[in-house]
Structure 1
Amino acid sequence: MKTKLTLTFIIVTVFAGFSKGQSRDNYNMWFQYLMTAQVSDKSTLTALTQYRSFDLAYDTRLFLLNAYLDYEVAKGVKPAAGAMFLVLESYNSDNTKRIRYEKRPFQQVTLESNIGRTSISNRFRVEERFLNNPDEFIVRIRYLLSIRIPFNRKGEKEKLYGILKNEIRMNMVKDEPFDSNRITAGLGIKVGRNSAIELAFINQLETGKTSNYGFLGFRNNFDWRKKEKQ
């Protein structure tokens, strides 16, 4: 119980800080909807949309659509392929905005395991980035470690869970290979058997700057295999 109260207090404090005012890169917001659907015993479809802003909601920083399909080739081993479309907005030195569009196919492998009831995921992704304004092509690799910690006792209905993530991203075709490192700490709140609200703080370190985000997400899980059996 003390752990739950402590994490809840941290999340509330973070969002209270965001509400007092933001400055570019230092304080941003990140909204996300994520859907996963089991389409067969071995395959899962994942789709998500994101909106990020330089302030609480109005000053757009990024919008993306993303979808991929994975296939479990062995227990806990899931290769996948997918694509993203992104609208990227940033500020120039004269305070005007630059808008870039990006098309990003990607391939990945996810390794899933458990330590007790704690879920651990290791994801390795390669993505091919096609950007405009100016035209640019970048190959980037990413490694994401995700940990999901249940706060309920064994046998009890799950209501809360902890979220810990760390992702490092490296460019393969640029003079500076380091792209960014992103750390996430948050809390998931179950609002239904197959849905949850997630609150988190995200810190992203890049060369020469650091960005902080308040994260608000909603996720749904579906099982479309039932329709096949009807």
Structure 2
Amino acid sequence: MKNLLNIILIVFLAQSQLTAQNTAEDYLGSWYTFGINHKFTEHFSITPYAELHLYETASNYNLTFTSLSGNYHFKPNQTISIAYAFLDIDSVIDEDNQPNTKENRIYEQYSYLHKTGRFSIQHRFRLEQRFLKLADQHNMQNRLRYRLGLKYPINTTLFLALKDEPFVNFQDQMFHENRFFIGIGFNLLKNTILEVDYFKHHINKNNLNRIQISITINTNSKPPKTISTPL
């Protein structure tokens, strides 16, 4: 009987150790994103945006991100933006009693779009001020992000997309994060885009595999252009 109890104890301890060793790298996680770009005039627009991150495809909560940005389009292919974002972050994969990290974020952004042949190329620079509320302290961090995006149309409905975004942290671990995306997009309606990406997420020495499903809707309430007629 004593030997049996010892065997059960050993099996239980081994199983507990394996469970404790589960990391984000063990899962195919998912990001679900939704954004609306609404233009009021040729020069001004707003973008409400939200993300849900899961450690697994359809479960195991990781993060929510919501933001609202105001945009000024000083040229048809160039935009500057300022935005506020709120994040709720659960950095523990398994169930725990630790409070989630809360983040208030302000960021400034410049984006530039141009074409080379059939490729649409976007450059996006973003400077972030992050105000983090951890379990036992408050922390403020700054970082710079640059995203290069390529889009290649297959036809009027389908397109291929490729993006890479390195992060530069102004505190410790200067190059602590990079996101590389490859995917396919669908122009579902005149103003609605669905994109499905696979991406490699390198963060804090972890190599994560993720699927991203994004819906973007473009709307506008621009007044119609008036055409003057000669008298």
TM range (shorter): 0.7 to 0.9
What percent identity do the matched residue pairs reach?
A: 21
Q: Quick one: which of 215, 219, 230 aligns to 1:218?
A: 215
User: Aligned equivalents of 2:47 and 2:152: distance in 1?
Assistant: 21
Q: Quick one: which of 129, 138, 144 aligns to 1:141?
A: 144
User: Aligned equivalents of 1:90 and 1:96: distance in 2?
Assistant: 12
Unaligned 5+ runs, structure 2: 1-21, 227-231
User: Aligned equivalents of 2:93 and 2:218: distance in 1?
Assistant: 40
Q: 1:119 to 1:92 in 2, by over 3 A?
A: closer
Matched with 1:187 is 184
Cα deviation, residue 116, structure 1: 2.5
Q: Counterparts of 1:1-230 in structure 2 under 5 Å?
A: 24-25=24-25, 26-91=27-92, 97-133=98-134, 134-152=137-155, 158-172=156-170, 174-226=171-223
User: Aligned equivalents of 1:82 and 1:54: distance in 2?
Assistant: 26
Root-mean-square deviation over aligned CA pairs? 2.3
In the alignment, is the contact (CA less than 8 A) between 1:91 and 1:98 conserved in 2?
Answer: no
* 2:148 counterpart letter in structure 1: L
User: Aligned equivalents of 1:61 and 1:228: distance in 2?
Assistant: 46
Partner of 1:55, secondary structure, is: coil
* 1:165 counterpart letter in structure 2: K
In the alignment, is the contact (CA less than 8 A) between 1:37 and 1:222 conserved in 2?
Answer: yes
User: Aligned equivalents of 2:187 and 2:125: distance in 1?
Assistant: 28
Cα deviation, residue 92, structure 1: 7.7
* 2:147 counterpart letter in structure 1: L
Q: 1:227 to 1:47 in 2, by over 3 A?
A: farther
In the alignment, is the contact (CA less than 8 A) between 1:178 and 1:207 conserved in 2?
Answer: no
Cα deviation, residue 95, structure 1: 6.0
User: Aligned equivalents of 1:95 and 1:171: distance in 2?
Assistant: 28
CA deviation profile, 1:19-75 (whole Å, cap 9, x unmatched)? xxx962342111011111112111222221100001122211010101212212235
User: Aligned equivalents of 2:186 and 2:93: distance in 1?
Assistant: 39
User: Aligned equivalents of 1:49 and 1:169: distance in 2?
Assistant: 20
Unaligned 5+ runs, structure 1: 1-21, 153-157
* 1:191 counterpart letter in structure 2: L
User: Normalising by structure 1, what TM-score?
Assistant: 0.81
Q: 1:191 to 1:46 in 2, by over 3 A?
A: same
* 1:34 counterpart letter in structure 2: G
In the alignment, is the contact (CA less than 8 A) between 2:160 and 2:185 conserved in 1?
Answer: yes
Matched with 2:14 is none
Q: 1:126 to 1:199 in 2, by over 3 A?
A: same
Q: 1:138 to 1:191 in 2, by over 3 A?
A: same
Matched with 1:19 is none
In the alignment, is the contact (CA less than 8 A) between 1:107 and 1:127 conserved in 2?
Answer: yes
